[in-house]
Structure 1
Amino acid sequence: MFRSLKPVLGFILAGIICLNATAQNKLPVYLDENKPIEERVEDALSRMTLEEKVAMCHAQSKFSSAGVPRLGIPENWATDGPHGIRPEVLWDEWDQAGWTNDSCIAFPALTCLAATWNKDMSLLYGKSIGEEARYRNKNILLGPGVNIYRTPLNGRNFEYMGEDPFLASKMVVPYIHGVQANGVAACVKHFALNNQEIARHTVNVNVDDRALYEIYLPAFKASVQEGQAWAIMGAYNKYKGQWACHNQYLLNDILRGEWGFDGVVVSDWGGVNNTKQAIYNGLDMEFGSWTDGLSEGASNAYENYYLAKPFLKLLQSGEVKEEEVDKKVRNILRLAFRTTMNTKRPWGSFGTPEHAAAGRKIAEEGIVLLQNKNNTLPIDLSKTKRILVVGENAIKPMTVGGGSSSLKAKYEVAPWDGIVKRMGTQADIKYARGYVGDPTSKYNGVVLKRDLTEPRSAEELIAEATQLAKESDLVIFIGGLNKSNNQDCEGHDRKHLELPYNQDKVITELYKANKNLVVVNISGNAVAMPWVNEVPAIVQSWYNGTESGTALASILAGDANPSGKLPFTFPVKLDDNSAHKLGEYPGKEQVTYNEGIFVGYRWTDKEKIKPLFPFGHGLSYTTFAYGKVTADKKGISQSDKITFSVSVKNTGSRDGAEIVQLYISDLKSSLPRPVKELKGFEKVYLKAGEEKTVSFTVDKSALSFFDDKKHDWVAEAGTFEAIVAASATDIKGKVSFDLK
């Protein structure tokens, strides 16, 4: 009980200190919000004991670290993100605390946010989840995640923003701004090269500097320099033989040295492995470790953490200078002054209808219409009177499971429920299970309201589904992956590209029974689709949170016009992915990225591989026509900018949105370069018949590559092409220009 009141007591004590100081007209500098933050940091630091400093550098519970009660400096409280605020857990255990008021709004997974290609949606997402975190008095949100989609087997891809560093960079910045406007630190993760879950605690990543800087670091750099993120989380894996949570190259040389990061570096839970490295190699706060033979969850293990007693003893003996702990505490104090000690930060809100509506809007904009032969969608309810819904994912809750992103949602509208609510009064809607995937009814202390147990055999389930399909006007199969082990799940990777649970057979049999078939794939990863040439309509949905079913039904019925586009490439087979063709995956002790910069569409372009569905692909219920691409000048100097423009017209009968994509191609380079690279995008909303001009302005940074010999970005003089496209393979126009 006392522990749960500690944050409140800290605020009360800070208030008493302020009142006493004000009465004496001697407000301490560190409490004076009119003073520059660096003066406040130094003043607070000068008042702290060595023991108080060390206490701030490590956890005191599963999700909190100590403040300085006698100075009125509150504790720090972190929470998983990045898709919703985690339920409260016990002080020393992972079990839920049993609160009745910690059921959150579950927002769509970040793959869905990336699929919106809409920076306004990113800002709305960050603002909404930041309000939820603030209301729960959390000052560190453990998200967003921006690790690059290297392989479709990575179990944690659903938490990230796709394969392209430019798209991830532009989408992460508004999210950070939205979160931090609430006085909550966005903790961008996992820095860096966390691209597999298998052996994530041991694997050492070998990657050349060019790929590191061009592919795997840009979204983190944008988070720091454009997003002004207040926190960064280290990754579990190693780089150059050092764990990423205390890594000289990543944290000291790059993050602080090259980028000027002034925030706090937080370890991933259990990501610290060595006291000396943790002291000197850039880490500030240690969370979740299990050290000195203590098992996971051991009570009061925190004093044995690497940055606890072992750190204090080295300081007291003089073996480590006090300046080392001061570096860390400065960053932690800066965090406090930006969050818990900012008296002007808003109060936030939690579990509100407004947040649910925001999640629904993001989901609607992120759902991707992959294929729509014969205009199967949207569903014409004036002609479609008998609808069959098939598949476990139609009824399975997806806000639980998946690892640290598992949530206790206030409610979740499953696809089946959303479809019935939207269409049930206009059509006779029936359900058939079709297959059994994971019938588990309890995850992380959350008991599902819908019983998923199923005694019938696979043959009986298919027989039932195909018979009902023959009697229906339309069949909607809702399947894909789930958030169970070896699916889309932290700590596990997928074992293959194919759909699990024999779903391909179910889909094939359904198509034989009824050609009017819609397949809805719910996943955070690409999947193989051997039936793609037969099935007329395919929809890519995601783990879309509280309003998942409502958003999907809205798209299927045509209430919302689909406008999402893929943030990663769907390969036909694993061998079409560069990490599997050239690189190593998975690594146990070592993994080498032999593919270098050729990730995603950069690889399929280079090798002229036709993907199942390309990066940036997504259809609409309307059509768009592009005009001629123009440039405002024929060439630019190294310090100049150039603007490209193109007109886009909605040539259909429905209002809709098109995502216009700008790629840059270097026609001659001293080093191998991708055929083209995304350097701009804009989501433009057009009423039926409306036409708008979309413009992109770029400078030499959009033309540059990283020269690892010079350790610098280089833009070589020569001829370039600006390519305007509707996807990585749907080129609408080009214009050449020169860099002098």
Structure 2
Amino acid sequence: MKMKKTLLLLCIILSGSISWMNAQNEKPIYLDENKPIEERVEDALSRMTLEEKVALCHAQSKFSSAGVPSLGIPENWATDGPHGIRPEVMWDEWEQAEWTNDSCIAFPALTCLAATWNPEMSLLYGKSIGEEARYRNKNILLGPGVNIYRTPLNGRNFEYMGEDPFLTSQIVVPYIQGVQSNGVAACVKHYALNNQEIDRHTVNVNVDDRTLYEIYLPAFKAAVQEGKAWAIMGAYNRYKEQWACHNDYLLNKILRDEWNFDGVVVSDWGGVNNTKEAIYHGLDMEFGSWTDGLSEGASNAYDNYYLSKPFLRLLQSGEVDVEEVNKKARNILRLAFRTTMDKNRPWGSFATQAHGDAGRKIAEEGIVLLQNNNNLLPIDLTKTKKILVVGENAIKAMTVGGGSSSLKAKYEVSPLDGLKARIGNQAEVIYARGYVGDASGEYNGVVSGQDLSESRSADELIAEAVNLAKGVDVVVFIGGLNKSDFQDSEGNDRKSYDLPYSQDKVITELSKANKNLVVVNISGNAVAMPWTKAVPAIVQSWYNGSESGNALASILVGDANPSGKLPFSFPVRLTDIGAHSFDTECYPGVDKEVTYKEGIFVGYRWLDKEKIKPLFPFGHGLSYTTFKYGKVSVDKSNMGATDKLTVSVSVTNTGNRAGSEIVQLYIKDMKSSLPRPEKELKGFDKVSLKAGETKTVSITIDKSALSFFDPVKHEWVVEEGDFEAIIGASASDIKGKASFKFQ
């Protein structure tokens, strides 16, 4: 019996030893890609020291944060911006690293992408820029931006997608999916209410819950729930007296609890202001809290960031529970397993012809033909012998400047060069400066290499342009804004709604000298146009990146038929817009407090409410062909809570060339317990038609398209009653209506 017990004990010991040896030879769970990510996260977390967990939560250089070297988990590397991959900077300085292989393809600004009204273009955009980020071994792309266009003075509007939450939501989702297909996290920004640059680091935004949920949050919600974004960037401003980068209401209650966001919350650079708020109010990763951290002269500034040693000391003392750092570390580890730790992550590609072609295609679809009296456009090269191009924006590089989106582009085709290359020997193209705007060409160490200095006076420049205009067949004025400070640029808002540099005078004088005048406005914002009656053709272009000039030339000569439509309204005057219809408390604010007194009535919603005719309405855009709409129909006259309803209309291309039309569906609630807009965009479809071709466009909606946010119930509700489905070619050009009931 004693022998049996001894043998049994020996077997148990040997069995345990074998199990222990097997366990030692097994791959750790966090390295096993066949295991669910959540198991891998918990396994990695269990192997980390407290110091390693804290190190994940703050920057270690201008654009990177620590990985976990002991576990072989790589560092995180972020990059601007939404329009192209920022050049490399020094480890702890903003100055350029002066690499020779970091010149990117510059893609069109996001205003242009939104103007395509085409989710397919958004997917192409995201995939292409994601490939560029991946090739440069970045795993966080700081974009896209989805803040709502509240005022045309906002210096950063060119980085966003316009005034309508539905359009922005539809465009942002494919962008995110395209970026993340490359194993790069899209970091959607700036969450939330970053709608002006004036006092952006300090201003407290006062807005009611209904306006917050109906206007300023939907695109972020779509990014999280439909796009499955892996990262969100907090904004600089304050809301409910807390900074947005560590805001309990925005980050904990809405983002995490209501939307179930499982990604990483990243601070904007310098957006963190308090250690305990950063710990408890939803922030995961702190970047850019200035180079001195919390104390000047520190040997390693990053040790003194709010979520660095101050965080660690609170954890070590027990004042803060270790679970608080575990929450943040889990989110950051999850990011790693989705990006740098994914063995199937593509390799990407950089500055390729394919990406240039993608940028050109997006730009061509986004350029908007605003006005075309007498069919001046496209330029008929069989009848045109001489063309005069006027304006600084015809030659000025626009990839440099604008703030953090400034790029070192591999190339940039100017509008003048694009026209000359396309027209070749078919017509003579001459140039006159016309006006002097900003002769500088440097930002953040990126240098355009242009010398735009000018010794002649403004009167001399106008006289030259007018003189030349009298002897040509067509004049193309290319002006607008630029990406300098106090224009379309991060850091400051515009000072005026008018065109800068006395361009109105140049345009007016040119219109007197030659009736065949085309005005091309390059901007990311609406501008005043007091000369519209004197100018037959007006084109809205954008900051269109590397292929800007080629894309514009293809539109002007008709190689491409314009199909873009405005993602924001062009008011006649600034005071026509809701944000500028009240006092300075509404914009830009008083004593660091701004109140959104217009509420939900932003953009066309305000114009409809006040019955103000815009200069050019939201959704407006012409074509070189014409379209006829048929009768609008709905597939049922009664709609219930679980039903979907389809609105249909036939569209015929009645012109003599192929073209694309954007059919827009607006919904009107005929009677509501709360004030509602006259109509709201709830669907659209871009349909391509050959000459003479007819197609039926069908757009399906559900009850969410009829809903409004009830701030008392704190939920979306739809009330029984009558509704209208309104089909338009713009917010002002209504083609037909159909009634239905919800019950």
Structure 2 length-normalised TM = 0.96
**Aligned-residue offset at 1:55:** 0.4
Unaligned runs of 5+ in 2: 1-20
Distance 1:594 1:198 in 2: 18
**3-state DSSP class of the match of 1:173?**
helix
1:626 aligns with 2:629: yes
Distance 1:438 1:294 in 2: 37
Distance 1:159 1:485 in 2: 15
- Asked whether the 8 Å contact 2:123–2:177 carries over to 1, the reply is yes
Q: Over residues 468-519 of structure 1, what are the superposed CA-to-partner deviations in whole Å (9 max), with x where a residue is unaligned?
A: 0001111000000000000000001000100000000000010111111000
Distance 2:233 2:295 in 1: 23
Q: Which residue of 1 aligns with 2:216?
A: 216
- Residue 703 of structure 2, aligned match among 683, 693, 700: 700
Q: Over residues 189-215 of structure 1, what are the superposed CA-to-partner deviations in whole Å (9 max), with x where a residue is unaligned?
A: 000000000100000000000000000
**3-state DSSP class of the match of 1:178?**
helix
Q: Over residues 575-606 of structure 1, what are the superposed CA-to-partner deviations in whole Å (9 max), with x where a residue is unaligned?
A: 10000103611125100000000000000001
Q: Over residues 261-286 of structure 1, what are the superposed CA-to-partner deviations in whole Å (9 max), with x where a residue is unaligned?
A: 00000000000000000000000000
Letter in 1 for 2:421: K
Q: Which residue of 2 aligns with 1:652?
A: 655
- Asked whether the 8 Å contact 1:366–1:564 carries over to 2, the reply is yes
1:524 aligns with 2:524: yes
1:548 aligns with 2:548: yes
Q: Which residue of 2 aligns with 1:562?
A: 562
Letter in 2 for 1:427: A
**Aligned-residue offset at 1:301:** 1.1
**Aligned-residue offset at 1:299:** 6.8
Distance 2:411 2:428 in 1: 26
Q: Which residue of 2 aligns with 1:256?
A: 256
Distance 1:146 1:284 in 2: 21
- Asked whether the 8 Å contact 2:292–2:301 carries over to 1, the reply is no
**3-state DSSP class of the match of 2:534?**
coil
Letter in 2 for 1:205: V
**Aligned-residue offset at 1:320:** 0.3
Letter in 1 for 2:324: E
Q: Which residue of 2 aligns with 1:688?
A: 691
- Asked whether the 8 Å contact 2:85–2:132 carries over to 1, the reply is yes
1:603 aligns with 2:588: no
Letter in 2 for 1:712: E
Distance 2:93 2:361 in 1: 36
Distance 1:316 1:238 in 2: 30
Q: Which residue of 2 aligns with 1:363?
A: 363
Distance 2:113 2:155 in 1: 18
Q: Residues 420-569 of structure 1: matches in 2 within 5 Å?
A: 420-569=420-569
- Asked whether the 8 Å contact 1:499–1:527 carries over to 2, the reply is yes
Counting matched residue pairs gives 720
Distance 1:714 1:449 in 2: 56
Distance 1:318 1:297 in 2: 29
**Aligned-residue offset at 1:295:** 8.4
**Aligned-residue offset at 1:36:** 0.6
**Aligned-residue offset at 1:293:** 7.1
Distance 1:293 1:77 in 2: 20
Distance 1:297 1:694 in 2: 64
**Aligned-residue offset at 1:613:** 0.2
Q: Over residues 417-438 of structure 1, what are the superposed CA-to-partner deviations in whole Å (9 max), with x where a residue is unaligned?
A: 0000011311111000000000
Distance 2:280 2:24 in 1: 41
Q: Which residue of 1 aligns with 2:642?
A: 639
**3-state DSSP class of the match of 1:351?**
coil
- Asked whether the 8 Å contact 1:290–1:296 carries over to 2, the reply is no
**3-state DSSP class of the match of 1:693?**
strand
Q: Residues 149-548 of structure 1: matches in 2 within 5 Å?
A: 149-290=149-290, 300-548=300-548
Q: Report which of the two structures shows the higher radius of gyration computed on alpha carbons.
A: 2
Letter in 1 for 2:624: Y
Distance 2:687 2:52 in 1: 53
Q: 1:379 to 1:297 in 2, by over 3 A?
A: farther
**Aligned-residue offset at 1:450:** 2.9
Distance 1:293 1:226 in 2: 37
**Aligned-residue offset at 1:23:** 12
1:85 aligns with 2:88: no
Q: 1:616 to 1:60 in 2, by over 3 A?
A: same
**3-state DSSP class of the match of 2:642?**
coil
Q: Which residue of 2 aligns with 1:577?
A: 577
Letter in 1 for 2:654: T
Letter in 2 for 1:359: G
Q: Which residue of 1 aligns with 2:70?
A: 70
- Asked whether the 8 Å contact 1:67–1:75 carries over to 2, the reply is yes
- Residue 677 of structure 1, aligned match among 670, 677, 680: 680
Distance 2:693 2:711 in 1: 47
**3-state DSSP class of the match of 1:533?**
helix
For the aligned residue pairs, the C-alpha RMSD in angstroms reads 1.3
Letter in 1 for 2:601: F
Distance 2:650 2:296 in 1: 59
Letter in 2 for 1:698: I
**Aligned-residue offset at 1:297:** 11
**Aligned-residue offset at 1:63:** 0.1
- Asked whether the 8 Å contact 2:368–2:541 carries over to 1, the reply is yes
Letter in 2 for 1:74: P
Q: Over residues 310-351 of structure 1, what are the superposed CA-to-partner deviations in whole Å (9 max), with x where a residue is unaligned?
A: 000000000000000000000000000000000001000000
**3-state DSSP class of the match of 2:730?**
coil
- Asked whether the 8 Å contact 2:96–2:446 carries over to 1, the reply is no
**3-state DSSP class of the match of 1:285?**
coil
Distance 1:541 1:297 in 2: 47
**Aligned-residue offset at 1:292:** 6.6
Q: 1:354 to 1:298 in 2, by over 3 A?
A: farther
Letter in 2 for 1:586: P
**Aligned-residue offset at 1:298:** 8.1
**Aligned-residue offset at 1:638:** 1.2
Distance 2:376 2:472 in 1: 14
- Asked whether the 8 Å contact 2:294–2:305 carries over to 1, the reply is no
**3-state DSSP class of the match of 2:533?**
coil
- Asked whether the 8 Å contact 2:293–2:305 carries over to 1, the reply is no
Q: Which residue of 1 aligns with 2:734?
A: 731
Distance 1:479 1:30 in 2: 55
Distance 1:442 1:141 in 2: 23
Q: 1:486 to 1:22 in 2, by over 3 A?
A: farther
Unaligned runs of 5+ in 1: 1-20
- Asked whether the 8 Å contact 1:291–1:306 carries over to 2, the reply is no
Q: 1:72 to 1:544 in 2, by over 3 A?
A: same
- Asked whether the 8 Å contact 1:94–1:297 carries over to 2, the reply is no
- Residue 586 of structure 1, aligned match among 576, 588, 593: 588
Structure 1 length-normalised TM = 0.96
**Aligned-residue offset at 1:646:** 0.4
**3-state DSSP class of the match of 1:518?**
strand
Distance 2:254 2:547 in 1: 40
- Residue 717 of structure 2, aligned match among 710, 714, 717: 714
**Aligned-residue offset at 1:81:** 1.4
- Asked whether the 8 Å contact 1:123–1:175 carries over to 2, the reply is yes
- Asked whether the 8 Å contact 2:400–2:441 carries over to 1, the reply is no
Distance 2:299 2:571 in 1: 47
Letter in 1 for 2:263: G
**Aligned-residue offset at 1:86:** 0.2
Distance 2:486 2:219 in 1: 27
Distance 1:586 1:174 in 2: 33
1:55 aligns with 2:55: yes
